[in-house]
Amino acid sequence: MNVYDFDRTIYNGDSSVDFYIFVLCKKPYLIVLLPFQAWGMALYLFGIYSKENMKEKFFMFIRFITVQEMVLRFWDKNYKKIKSWYMRQKQDTDVIISASPEFLLEPLVCGYLGVTLICSRIDENTGKYIGKNCFGEEKVVRLYTVYPSAVVDNFYSDSHVDTPMARMAKNIFLVHGDTITEWKKL
């Protein structure tokens, strides 16, 4: 199977940040939440908050929107940010694994692309995490939960933070923009 990270790998940008900006453009009054979101980021940077706690603060804005409607409007505008190199090689058996929230990626990845999605589960009504952030070693755990005997032929990522996933793949690739290079064996 081929496994891909999502943000900055097959999607040109960070989908969570892009979604937040999209929502702010539609509902500018949500900017009043920015101090709370910034506080969450500061507590994370000082090691007081976990990544999940920080992201819960970030996603607090979803309590004030109709999530699925807004997500569909977002993807209507942003599906074109899926990189063309991925669209040329996409296979129905691909797995996309991401730290981004399921409520955000599912309509695009499972609907439009028609491939399997493994990602962070966040309650779309509250912004609270359901389980762990799908990041680093957790990606490996989550992949084996869905596919207990997974054999990863090719893995693509934009970052060395995905080293745990890279270790399990036969071939590994680093993606920078539209440039794909071989990631040296680990």
Give the CA diameter of the chain: 48
Percent of the chain with pLDDT over 90: 96
What's the rounded Cα separation, in Å, for the pair 165 and 173? 11
What's the rounded Cα separation, in Å, for the pair 97 and 121? 12
Q: What is the mean pLDDT of the chain?
A: 96
Q: Write the pLDDT tens digit of every residue in 20-60.
A: 999 999 999 999 999 999 999 999 999 999 999 999 999 99
Residue 185 has pLDDT above 80, yes or no: no
Tally of domains in the chain = 1
Q: Are 43 and 53 in contact (CB under 8 A)?
A: yes
Site of tokens 């007081």: 48
Q: Are 129 and 52 in contact (CB under 8 A)?
A: yes
Q: Distances from the Cα of 146 to the Cαs of 97, 129, 140, 150, 175, in angstroms?
A: 11, 19, 10, 9, 25
Alpha carbon 31 to chain centroid distance? Answer: 23
Q: Write the pLDDT tens digit of every residue in 87-116.
A: 999 999 999 999 999 999 999 888 899 999
Residue 19 has pLDDT above 70, yes or no: yes
The pLDDT-based confidence of 186 (bands split at 50, 70, 90) is low
The DSSP bridge pattern shows strands 179-182 and 169-176 to be antiparallel
Domain around 152? 2-182
What's the rounded Cα separation, in Å, for the pair 62 and 139? 24
| CATH code assigned at 132 | 3.40.50.1000
For residue 107, the 8-state DSSP code is I
DSSP string, 105-134: HHIIIIIII--EEEEE-B-TTT--BSS---
Mean pLDDT of the region 136-152: 97
The pLDDT-based confidence of 169 (bands split at 50, 70, 90) is very high
What's the rounded Cα separation, in Å, for the pair 166 and 57? 30
